[in-house]
A and B are shown apart, each in its own frame.
Chain A
Amino acid sequence: MQIQQISIFVENKSGRLAEITEAVAEVGVDIRAVSIADTSDFGILRLIVDKPKEAVEALKDKGMTVSLTSVIAMGINDQPGEFAKALRVLADNTIGVEYMYAFVSREHGKAFVILRVDDSNRAVEVLKENGITILSAEEIYGM
C-alpha cells in the first residue's frame, strides 16, 4: 500500500523546476501529483509519477540529488467532512503527519491525498478499519 514518492533537492534558482520537469518528460514519465516545500534557500520538490524508477534514473543522470520516500495515498469522497474524518482517525491513533498534499480527479469524482506519516503501516491499517480507501501503487501509477 506504499507509494514511492520522488523527492528532489532544489536550490532556489530560477529555471530549476523547468529543468527538472523537462528531465522527467524526456523519458516519457507522467506526473500524477506534485508538491514543493521551500525555505529561503532551498526547496524539496516531491513528485508522484507513473514510473518512479525511470524518473529517478533520469534525474540522477542530470546530477540531481534524489531520494525515494514511501508515502500513502487516500482516496476520499469529494464532500464536506470526509477529509476531516480521515485526519481525526490518524490523530486519535497518535499518528503524526509530516506533510501532505492533495489532488482531485474529475474522472473518479474523488480527492486524493498523499500523506507522509511517521508510521505508514499502522496508518494504512487504521484508515482502512475506518472505511477510508487506500490506493495501491498500481492504482496511482496507472491513473
Chain B
Amino acid sequence: MHGNYFEPELECASREVLHYIQSKKLVKMVHLAYNNVPLYKKRFDEIGLQPGDIKSIDDISKLPFTYKDDLRDNYPFGMFAVPKEQLVRIHASSGTTGKQTVVGYTRHDIDVWARSAARSIVAVGGTKSDYVHVSYGYGLFTGGMGLHYGAEKLGATAIPVSTGNTKRQVQIMQDYGSDILCCTPSYAMYIGETVRDMGIDPKTLKLRAGIFGAEPWTEEMRREIERLLDIRAYDIYGLSEIAGPGVSCECQMQAGMHVNEDMFFPEIIDPETGKSLADGEFGELVFTCIGKEALPLIRYRTRDICTLNHETCECGRTLVRMGKPRGRTDDMLIIRGINVFPSQVESVLLELGMAPSYQLVIDRVNNLDCMEVQVEMTEDMFSDTVRSLESTEHKIANALQSTLNIAAKVRLLEPKSIPRSEGKAKRVIDKRNKG
C-alpha cells in the first residue's frame, strides 16, 4: 500500500511494534497518574497495586477503571496531572445530564490530538492541497478545534466556518471550493437539503468527502448524505475525555473506524463483570490515554457499546477498527436475557423508510418480559383501511424480530403522542421494577 497515510510507520506498524509502543507509554503514564492524581493514588493503594506492577500493555487489566462520575466528582480540575503552567487548553463536555466534565491539554496533548485528527483527514483521502470546511461548533466543544488543528497539522487549509448560517456555508463551499466537510451528520443532512433548496446541483461543488461525528447516525443517513451532497461520508469518533474527534475514524474502505491505538488504547469489556471480551463481541468500549499528560485517564468507561476488529484492513492500516457504537450502556435493556438497544429499533424503522418516532414500553406480564414498540403515525404511513395499517404493524414487528431476536408487539400511535422534553423524546418506559 502507498501514500494514503499521515504517519505510515505508526498507522501500518506491525502488532509487535504497536505492542512495544503501547507498553512503553502505558508504563510511563501509570507513574504519571499515580504520582500526580490523588484519585489514582487512592485507587491503586486500595487494591494494593504499585505503578511498578505494570510492565507491559498485557498488564492493563490489573488497572482500575475510571468513570465519568470520577471527572464530575473532581470538577473542574481535580484529575489534572500537570501544574497549570503546563496547560495550554481547556475543553468541556456539554453536560446535558448533570455537571460538565472539564478536560485539559498540554502542548504535547494538543499535538497528539492534532495528529490523530490529521490521520483521520488523510484516511478519508484528504491531502495538503485540500480546503477543510469545518462546520462543527468552535468553543468548549471539541468538534471545531479538533478538526481545525488536524487540518493545519496535515498542512491542509482549515476554513473555520463553525455552525449556523447555512446558506452562507453553501456559498463558501461554492466560492472557496471546499474539498472536505466536517460537521455533525444531522447538520450535513441539513446542508445537503439547503444545497438542493438553493437550486444548486451538488455535482457542481468540489466537495468530495465528509467527516461526520459527535452524534449517533445510521447507514441510512450515510447513504442519504452521500446522495444529497454527492460525496463519500465517513464516520469519526471521539470524546473530550480521551481527546476529541480523531480518537478513531473510518478510512476509505468504510469498514470500521481505525482507533489511533498508539495514542488511545482501546479495550472491550463486559459492562457487568468488567472482563475483557474478544474481537467481535459486543461490550463497553474502554480507553486508556497512554500518550497524554494533562489528563492521563486509565481504563475510562465510555459507556459506548461496540466491537473491535484487529484484522489488518484492506487500506493497509494495522490500527484496530471499532464498529459504530450500537448504543450506550445507559440505554441497554435486557429483555428476556437479550440485550436490546433503542438505537436498533430506530435503525429498523429507518430501514423501513419510516420516521424514527418511537417509544419502547417494557413490562412483565405473568413473569415474562414483554416489549411493546409504539410508533407514531405519519401521513406517509397512514392508510384508510384497517387491513393495510395492520400489515404495517406486522411489517415492523417482523423486521424487529429479525434484528432483535425478540418478539415485540407493535402499536401505532397518533402523531406527537410520545412526550418530548426539549426536543428529545423519552424512548424507554420500563415498568418492570415497580414492585
Contact = CB atoms under 8 A, between A and B. Distances in A.
Interface string A1-14: 00001010111000
Interface in B390-424: 390, 411-417
B386 A37 contact: yes
B380 to A, nearest CB: 10
A69 B386 contact: no
B385 A98 contact: yes
B210 to A, nearest CB: 34
B408 to A, nearest CB: 14
B377 A99 contact: no
Contacts of A46: 384
A44 B416 CA distance: 17
B379 interface: yes
B378 interface: yes
A2 B413 CA distance: 30
A41 interface: yes
A15 interface: no
Contact of B379 (A5, A39, A42, A67): A67
Contacts of A39: 386, 389-390
B20 interface: no
Contacts, number: 51
A41 B415 contact: no
Contacts of B384: 5, 7, 44, 46, 67, 69, 116
Nearest to A68: B384
Given A65-B377, A67-B384, A9 B416 contact: no
**Interface SS of A by simple majority:** strand
B377 A9 contact: yes
B192 to A, nearest CB: 27
A99 B389 contact: no
B385 A99 contact: yes
Contact of B382 (A9, A37, A38): A9
Contacts of A99: 385
A7 B389 CA distance: 13
Nearest to A60: B379
A122 to B, nearest CB: 19
Interface residues of B, number: 17
Given A44-B384, A98-B385, A64 B414 contact: yes
Contacts of B417: 11
Given A65-B382, A67-B379, A67-B384, A42 B389 contact: yes
A52 B279 CA distance: 60
Interface string A63-88: 11111010000000000000000000
Nearest to A46: B384
A63 B412 contact: no
A44 B385 contact: yes
Nearest to B372: A41
A90 B385 CA distance: 20
Contacts of A42: 389, 411-412
A67 B378 CA distance: 11
Interface in A92-118: 98-99, 116
A46 B377 CA distance: 17
Contacts of B389: 9, 39, 42, 44
Contacts of B377: 9, 65
Given A44-B384, A46-B384, A11 B390 contact: no
A95 to B, nearest CB: 16
B415 A63 contact: yes
A11 B385 contact: no
B419 to A, nearest CB: 14
A37 B385 CA distance: 8
16 contacts: A7-B382, A9-B382, A38-B386, A41-B411, A41-B412, A42-B389, A42-B411, A44-B389, A63-B415, A63-B416, A64-B414, A65-B378, A65-B379, A67-B382, A67-B384, A69-B384
Closest 5 CB pairs of A and B: A7-B384, A69-B384, A65-B377, A65-B382, A37-B386
Given A38-B386, A39-B386, A69-B384, 19 more contacts: A9-B389, A11-B412, A11-B413, A37-B385, A37-B386, A39-B390, A41-B412, A42-B412, A44-B384, A44-B385, A44-B386, A63-B414, A63-B415, A63-B416, A64-B415, A65-B379, A67-B382, A67-B384, A99-B385
